[in-house]
Amino acid sequence: MSIKRPQLSIRLPSYMPDASDWNDMRVAARAADHGGIDRLTVSDHVVFGENLEEYARPEIGGQAGGKQPTGPDGHWLDPITTLTYVAGMTSRIRLGTAILIAALRRPVVLAKELATLDVLSGGRTDIGVGVGWQKEEYEAAGLKFEGRGHLLDHTLEVCQTLWRNQRANYTSPLLTFNNIHQMPKPLQAGGVPIWVSGTINKMTVSRLARFGSGWIPWGAEASNMTEALPRMKAELAKLGRDVSDLQATCALPVVNDAKGEMDIPRTMEKLRPLVEAGVTDFRMNLPLPGHQGAATEKVRKVVAGFRTAVGRPLND
């Protein structure tokens, strides 16, 4: 996979504290598709325990100073089901997760679901994966929180084995199968592209080298990508990973003017150094009006500002 021109992604509002109407999500998906956004991403939680303050602990996978955006009874849509739904109302935009806690799913079933989504979307699917931070989520799935990194690697191994082989064989301490057929295959060569989330540590680097098309940074690295991305590439090169095609994402914070409206030039002014450092995908939270026409118009203005800032043609 070759490096693509700089892309702009938005996070789809697929969760809310109290769910009564998901119309804003539908409006945002259509506006992003029609307005020129490159990718939509959705988040993932299967269940919640009641220790949500654990999210602020980076040593277990959380974010220092972070806060979970809903309480334990917040409404979180399943990401794969949601993206399949969104695929039916869009035509060109890529569909991704940021992130899917993939190890919570049975690997053979997850491989089938993602291949189905890729086929029905016309090859528009990406999967961003990570280990998560919540012990209770693993316990509710009958899995051990400790060793969840190895569970994730196992899940990705099985998915890629099924995607890439007509007659699949697999052996590990967790699972063995022989002469297994699973169709359809993803439309994209090699299977659904995998984006690996994490800090620069031994397991994340190994996972990205083995499975990853792109890196979703986490923790301190996420806020300093001009320094972190060269470091990650150097670590990957030590493992023999060709980094010439590595994609990487970075958050793009919105800067508002005195009226509380998005200041597009100021929001985009720091993009150039990040592009030069190798960032290929910029992700932002973009609140949109509930009216379809107004939402699409706002997206078009943001996309125009982004493409001007990164030197990308407006008609691309």
Which amino acid is present at 77? L
- Residue 18 has what pLDDT? 86
Determine, yes or no, domain membership for 285: no
Judge whether 237 and 270 are in contact, CB under 8 Å: no
Q: Given CA atoms 286, 117, 92, 189 in this order, what sign does their dihedral have?
A: positive
Determine, yes or no, domain membership for 62: yes
* Domain of residue 118, CATH code: 3.20.20.30
Rounded to an integer, the average pLDDT of 112-141 is: 97
pTM of the predicted structure, to 2 decimals: 0.95
Highest mean pLDDT pick, 12-21, 63-72, 114-123: 114-123
* Count helices and strands in the chain by DSSP H and E runs: 10, 12
Run of H or E residues at 234 = helix 225-238
Q: Which residues of 249-284 are buried (b: 16+ CB within 10 A; e: fewer)?
A: bbebeeeeeeeeebebeebbeebeebbebbbbbbbb
Mean of pLDDT over the chain: 95
Determine, yes or no, domain membership for 309: no
Burial of 199 (0-12, 13-18, 19+ CB in 10 A): middle
Rounded to an integer, the average pLDDT of 103-125 is: 98
Determine, yes or no, domain membership for 175: yes
User: Which of 44, 41, 60, 103 has its CA nearest to residue 249?
Assistant: 41
Q: How many CA atoms lie within 13 A of 98 on its CB side?
A: 26
Which range marks the domain in which residue 126 is found?
Answer: 7-248
Q: Is the pLDDT of residue 2 over 50?
A: no
Residue 24 makes CB contacts below 8 A (sequence gap 6+) with: 13, 288, 290
Q: Which two tokens stand for residue 140?
A: 């509710």
User: Which of 150, 55, 142 has its CA nearest to residue 104?
Assistant: 142
Determine, yes or no, domain membership for 268: no
Determine, yes or no, domain membership for 26: yes
User: Which of 72, 202, 11, 45 has its CA nearest to residue 133?
Assistant: 45
In sequence order, what DSSP letters do the residues of 119-176 get, joined into one string? HHTTS-B-EEE---S-HHHHHHTT--STTHHHHHHHHHHHHHHHHH-SSEEEE-SS-E
d(CA 271, CA 252): 8
- Residue 21 has what pLDDT? 87
Q: Is the pLDDT of residue 3 over 70?
A: no
Percent of the chain with pLDDT over 70: 99
Residue with tokens 């090699």: 190
Determine, yes or no, domain membership for 160: yes
How many structural domains comprise the chain?
1
User: Which of 217, 7, 48 has its CA nearest to residue 128?
Assistant: 217
- Residue 1 has what pLDDT? 43
Determine, yes or no, domain membership for 119: yes
Detail the DSSP E strand segments found in the chain.
7-11, 15-16, 39-42, 75-76, 94-97, 127-129, 168-171, 176-180, 194-198, 214-217, 247-251, 281-284
Confidence band for 20, pLDDT divided at 50, 70 and 90 = confident
Rounded to an integer, the average pLDDT of 55-61 is: 91
291: left (phi over 0), alpha (psi -120 to 50) or beta: beta
Judge whether 212 and 224 are in contact, CB under 8 Å: no
Our measurement of the distance from residue 170's CA atom to the centroid of its chain's CA atoms, rounded to an integer in Å, reads 27
Q: Is the pLDDT of residue 293 over 60?
A: yes
